[in-house]
Amino acid sequence: MSPPPIDGRARVVIEGVTPEVDAGRFAAKRTIGDTVIVEADIFTDGHERAAAAILVRHESETEPATIAMTPLVNDRWRGSFVVSRGGGYWFTLLGWRDDFGTWAADLEKRRAAGPVADVDLAIGAALVAAAAARAAGDDARRLRRFSAALAEGGSAATAVAGDPELAALVAAHPDLEHATRYDRELPIFVDRERARFGAWYEMFPRSCASEAGRHATFRDAAARLAYVASMGFDVVYLPPIHPIGHTHRKGKNNALVAEPGEPGSPWAIGGIEGGHESVHPELGTLGDFDAFVAEATGQGLDVALDIAYQCSPDHPYVALHPEWFRRRPDGTIQYAENPPKKYQDIYPFDFDTEAWASLWQELLDIVLFWMDHGVRIFRVDNPHTKPFALWEWLIAEARKKDPGVIFLSEAFTRPKVMYRLAKLGFTQSYTYFTWRRTAPELRAYFTELTAPPVLDFFRPNLWPNTPDILTDVLQEGGPPAFAIRYLLASTLGASYGIYGPAFELGERVPREPGSEEYRDSEKYEIRHWDLDRPDSLRSLITRTNAARHAHAALQRDDTLTFHDTDNPRLLCYSKTSASASDVVLVVVSLDPVWKQGGWVDLDLAALGVTPDTAFEVHDLLSGARYPWHGRRNYVELDPHRLPAHLFEVRRIT
């Protein structure tokens, strides 16, 4: 007969652990300074009590710290720790039978029923003596004294048994000989704050000239940074800045043939001037780009750079590495397609090539190159069309150079694919917010995004528009629709972005009816923007970003709570800071045409307000103040004036 495969004396069960992403295959995401709350179901057979602890270490450490867990209800346990450094953390759990705790609880029952027998006290004395043997120094001396007092028996010993100091000392030196250790270490990756919170502004540097008709330079783009910073943005994001190919160059409005002098699409990367590690000569030099990054840093802005792993037919890779591209039966290289769309000016890489390893290394080298030039954020174009394994490896390698590097996934694709990319390491992700417009749609979607398990691995970055996406809501709703979608993005999400100046100036004419493409799209031509137009949303954006920076509640997603309204055209939700000391309540009208009013039915507990407490709501956009009381309160919003309330909730004591 073969012996049992386990130690039968390890009688505690650990299951239902959170946060745990796919049984520990992937890391849960947190940012520096976060408190990680760990929960698990921990129990044992019989009536004996259990005890539990978290073992946690930073990736630079070999020995873990031990953190006690406390019971909740129904054998659920909780503990927490603060992640104070960037990079990887690992944690696991220990559970063991708490013999002393079981003895003390039973002894209290015996005492309530009558005199306690000395033999029962002697059992406790032995347990305490064993704890003393595991301890050292002053703890050991105090435990020995407690053991001796229990061994003496009598009423005095019974009183000693209930001493809280004794319980704390024994708990500090548990018997772990037969403890159950959770069968895996679970990873957590800790990013810098920008991974959790930030407002992005996308702009084409070639359209930053002070006068119309001129291709701008990095110096012109650097001069534009003060405008971006003045609105309170945190990240300036640049589409590809590389040389643009001439072969099959697209013209204005995506015409198949470019007219002389037309600049082409920045995503058709590469020409005789160089490829992914070069800059477009009309923008300037690498030195000019470095100066742009320095100016952005001085303005308090991170620079995000577009990573598009594709080539124009003129890219040096096409001649130097033909093995990296797929050829059709007629010998020509396969250009990019997303039927019915055709991109004759772009060659995708062939990731099934036998030379995949050298291709992967080159793609990593591109990222490392731009990191050497001060870029710490990358927006990755269409990552879902490249191998999953590439991203897991590439992002991990980039983090070895700088754990603070951030990758934004631009993958408008199937949900499971979007989630897989996030699990593989993408720091943030574009979302379906762009097309969610009704209150039920928004509530359902953001409830999914801001609750476990999705919350632990997927960080949304909300965009009401992009150079590729002009939704029908924006086309048809006019300036109020832009304000509504902006306020939703910037308050539902701790991270959001706009493609400007097209957004703040309300650019809304499609290329043709039913299209989400812009007419006169900046993707294919240089635009000149009048930033001082009186109808600009600049003031609203500035006020909203100021509120986002002033209120910690708007800097996270995990506290989002929806509140009911009696008008389906109104959406109401709140957020609180991690400490719950800062509370923000938002009411947005989803109607860009008509005034809407109704009653909001508040979850007062989520606001930290009791039913009998009066409170004041202070509108951070208009400055208005309203005294409220109880759950039901009335609001009215005119989209042509201000389509939302952004309230700070102030309790009246």
- Reduce the DSSP state of residue 478 to 3 states and report it: helix
Query: Could you confirm whether 456 is annotated as catalytic?
Result: no
Q: Are 99 and 134 in contact (CB under 8 A)?
A: no
For residues 182 and 369, give the distance between their C-alpha atoms in angstroms, rounded to a whole number.
41
In 326-397, which ranges are E strands?
A: 336-338, 341-343, 347-348, 377-381
To which residue do tokens 């389509």 refer?
643
Q: Which among 98, 202, 314, 410 is annotated as catalytic?
A: 410
Task: Dig out the tokens for 35 from the structure.
Answer: 């408190």
Q: How far is CA 124 from CA 154, 155, 227, 524, in A?
A: 13, 14, 72, 81
Where do we find the tokens 């953390």?
89
Closest CA to 412 of 380, 449, 440, 388: 380
Element spanning 122, H or E:
helix 118-134
Per-residue 3-state assignment (H helix, E strand, C coil) for 45-88:
CCCCCEEEEEEEEECCCCCCEEEECEECCCCEEEEEEECCCCEE
Q: How far apart are CA 539 and CA 231, in angstroms?
A: 8
Secondary structure of residue 626 in the 3-state scheme: strand
Cβ atoms of residues 364 and 392 within 8 Å: no
DSSP 380-402: EE-GGGS-HHHHHHHHHHHHHH-
Buried b / exposed e across 617-651, counting CB within 10 Å, b at 16+?
bebbbeeeeeebeebebebebebeebbbbbbbbee
Asked if the bond preceding 453 is cis, omega within 30° of 0, the reply is: yes
DSSP 595-611: -EEEEEE--HHHHT--T
Asked if omega into 260 is within 30° of 0 (cis), the reply is no
Smallest CA-to-CA distance from 243 within 332, 337, 341, 313 is with 313
Answer yes or no: 530 catalytic. Answer: no
> 């309790």: which residue's tokens?
651
Burial of 327-342, coded b for 16+ CB within 10 Å and e otherwise, reads eeeeeeeebbeeeeee
Please measure the distance between the N-terminal and C-terminal CA atoms of the chain and give it in whole angstroms.
73
Catalytic annotation, pick one of 381, 507, 525, 582: 381
Active site residues: 381, 410
